Amino acid sequence: MSNASSNRFANRFEGKVALLTGSAATLKGELMGFGGATVWRFLEEGGRGVVITDVQDEIGERSAAQLRDSGHDAIYMHLDVTDEDQWAVVANATMEHFGRIDILVNIAGILDPKSILDIETAVWKKTMEISTVGIFLGTRAVANPMEQSGGGAIINLASMAAKQGSGSYGSAYSFSRGGMLNFTMSSALQLSSLGIRVNTIMPGWVHTPFTDYLYTDPEQSKFRTDRVPLGRWGEPEDIAAGILFLASDDASYMTGAELLMDGGVSAGSVRPANPKSDD
């Protein structure tokens, strides 16, 4: 590979500012979430600065401090994505500090693994609220600042579960993720004239703090690995690559779209031991 092509991504986010929800787990040396893997790569590829937000303030503050110690411009702010006032505070603070918002990544989410018959109504509502009300409030909070910044990109983290029913558990989760796909399409239509692209990522099973309880349980982990045609759990870096593709100019002709990153799970059945048929 020539130097030119290996450095293709070196400065692709030069001057850009990214705001991320649900992104406290950004510490190098600890298990990172999608936000963490995205933030480090974004900054290493020239990003001017990041605002990481979450409801986990202690780890969020430590993450931002580590980013600053590494020479990056990073702020942590408390943001419960269901709170409209908090969105206003974060959007204003981002504009005051950086003067622009180019990228919003909506990552916040919860999953209660209970069936329709067992889940508490309050938890069902909370799951829906974080996924669907959260991205609505976030989209509205950044639309004008993004337009003032010359346009931007919003990336909503849904799930491969968004297009599947949940046979055993997680029905509130998959329902809420399906709603994210639909809202992405409406946002893409309504914000296109402001120069804002909006897309969704649908990850499969990825090892992050969100899934660590499954990953570290040998039976649960194998159950999933056996169902992934590519034969492994995803890493947060796999998904960060998709987030940053959608955030970059390489995706300049994509809006209202869904990027499935699930190692092949949604394509169908389990990876065969021998892909060649006998005849």
Ligand X SMILES: NC(=O)c1ccc[n+]([C@@H]2O[C@H](COP(=O)([O-])OP(=O)(O)OC[C@H]3O[C@@H](n4cnc5c(N)ncnc54)[C@H](O)[C@@H]3O)[C@@H](O)[C@H]2O)c1
Interface with ligand X in residues 210-269 (CB under 6 A): 210-211
- Is 173 considered catalytic here? yes
Amino acid 228 reads: V
Triad 78, 241, 16: Cα angle to 5°: 55
Residue number with CB closer to ligand X (243 or 251): 243
Q: Does 176 bind ligand X (CB under 6 A)?
A: no
* Nearest residue (CB) to ligand X, 148 versus 221: 221
One of 16, 17, 19, 34 touching ligand X (CB under 6 A): 34
Q: Least Å distance between CB 81 and ligand X?
A: 4
At its nearest, how many Å lie between ligand X and the CB of residue 16?
21
Binding mask of the shown chain, residues 118 to 137, with x at each position contacting ligand X by CB under 6 A: ------------x-------
- Near ligand X by CB under 6 A: residue from 157, 172, 251, 265: 157
Q: Please give the structure tokens belonging to residue 13.
A: 């986010």
Spot the catalytic one: 173, 213, 215, 253.
173
Q: From the CB of 7, what's the least distance to ligand X, in Å?
A: 28
Minimum distance of ligand X from residue 66's CB (angstroms): 15
Under the binding rule (CB under 6 A), the answer on residue 25 touching ligand X is yes
Least Å distance, CB 273 to ligand X, is 25
Residue among 202, 92, 187 nearest 135 (CA)? 187
DSSP for the chain? --HHHHTTTTTTTBT-EEEESS-----TTS---HHHHHHHHHHHTTB-EEEEEES-HHHHHHHHHHHHHTT-EEEEEE--TT-HHHHHHHHHHHHHHHS---EEEE---------TTTS-HHHHHHHHIIIIIHHHHHHHHHHHHHHHTT-EEEEEE--GGGGS--SSS-HHHHHHHHHHHHHHHHHHHHHGGGTEEEEEEEE-SB-STTTHHHHTSHHHHHHHHTT-TTSS-B-HHHHHHHHHHHHSGGGTT--S-EEEESTTGGGSSPPPSS-S---
Which of 170, 203, 242, 263 is in the footprint of ligand X by CB under 6 A?
A: 203
The correct pick among 18, 19, 107, 265 for binding ligand X (CB under 6 A) is 107
Binding footprint of ligand X, residue count (CB under 6 A): 29
80 binds ligand X (CB under 6 A): yes
Residue 208 binds to ligand X (criterion: CB under 6 A): yes
Q: Which residues bind ligand X (CB under 6 A)?
A: 21-22, 24-25, 33-35, 54-56, 79-82, 107-111, 130, 157, 159, 203, 205-206, 208-211
Catalytic residues: 173
